[in-house]
Amino acid sequence: MTTRERYENIINWFKLNRPEANSELKHQNPFQLLVAVMLSAQCTDRRVNMVTPALFQAYPDAQALAMADHDCLYNLVRSVSYPNSKTTHLIAMAQKLVSDFGGEVPKTVEELMTLPGVGRKTANVVASIYFGAPVIAVDTHVFRVSRRLGLSLGKDVDQVEKDLTRNIPEEIRAIAHHWIILHGRYVCTARNPYCEECGLKEWCKGYQKENK
């Protein structure tokens, strides 16, 4: 099976079986999504969704968050992973939004990555969901699943992102990110993946290798 055939079959299966796929992080605007994605690093979306309602009530926009007291904000996010560093990054991010972007979330990946605490994955998520950027965010789930399926042999997230970007059409890259991440979260799990129940096993390089 060629790489092109693998991509075509997997994409077609997702189109047929997962016509809708969205972020599980609860948000109502780009600012809220940016904050939620920053909090989600090495943390579950479920935990983040438990934290953000009170956070957004206390700090509804960049101007409010930029003026936040570190200890007050820390108390709101203390249950997520690395709460101290995330508190520092959130305040610094909001301050830069206010000083450099008029309090508005910038639209490009490059501009988003100038914000403190915002790496390429976070920037890609925000840019693709809200501004239609044809990019794919590669987190631990996307990295693992892409390599298992045989969509990429990349040894780091940058290489995997390049392979996915090269082989997935622009118009479906945003939803493809959600297809892969949700598949990794609920089917192709890190430990004990549900291979026999997986609709992709026919084209999965990892499954075929283990079941020769």
DSSP state of 192: S
In the set 15, 96, 107, 139, the catalytic residue is 139
SS (H, E, C) 162-187: HHHHHHCCHHHHHHHHHHHHHHHHHC
- Whether 139 sits among the annotated catalytic residues: the reply is yes
- Whether 158 sits among the annotated catalytic residues: the reply is no
Say how many CA atoms lie within 13 Å of 187 toward its Cβ.
18
Q: Are 206 and 150 in contact (CB under 8 A)?
A: yes
Tokens for 44?
């579950």
Q: Phi and psi for 187 in degrees, rounded to 5?
A: -125, -60
In the set 86, 96, 121, 201, the catalytic residue is 121
Rama region for 103: left / alpha / beta (φ>0; ψ in -120 to 50; rest): left
Radius of gyration of the chain (CA): 18
Q: What residues are labeled active site?
A: 121, 139
